[in-house]
Amino acid sequence: MNTRIEQLKNAVVDYLDTLIKQAAGGGRGKFRGSFTLFVEGQATPVLIVGTADGSVEDGSAIALLNPDQELFDRLRPGVAYSGGLLKEIVSGKCDGMVHVWLDAYVKTSTRAQLLDSYTPRKFAGAPKFEVS
């Protein structure tokens, strides 16, 4: 697997794990956020959207590495984007994408499943925006 995609997946798993723990006791919610991920020595913005459920301890998230501004308006939390449609939406508009499902109650290495990923043919490198 591509190093950038693996790094993005690991960051999403940590992010989801934290949100699920915060929702412990029955909370369920949709979320949208952004954070900075250091990729190949470069601070790179990440857009993340998804859902987290504390009662069943699972969640799903789509994370985009260095997305175009258009994707902030286009991707909504709680919408079941998947497969070809998701790749069509992000194609050429980000430096990488992962769609991850996390079963937080499972204590093995298989608790996180990579449902889908996208890697562009060319890595832009320079951040398109700054996370504040």
Per residue of the chain (132 residues), give pLDDT as tens. 578 899 999 999 999 888 888 777 777 788 899 999 998 888 999 999 998 887 778 889 999 999 999 998 898 887 778 778 899 999 999 999 999 988 877 777 778 888 888 888 676 666 766 766
For 52, the token pair is 């987290």
Q: How many CB atoms neighbour CB 104 within 10 A?
A: 23
Q: What is the pLDDT of residue 123?
A: 63
Q: Which residue has the tokens 């320079």?
A: 126
Backbone angles phi, psi at 32, to 5 degrees: -140, 135
Residue in 95, 94, 81, 117 with CA at minimum distance from that of residue 6: 117
Contact 28, 53 (CB under 8 A): yes
Helix, strand and coil content of the chain, in percent to the nearest 5, comes to 25, 35, 40
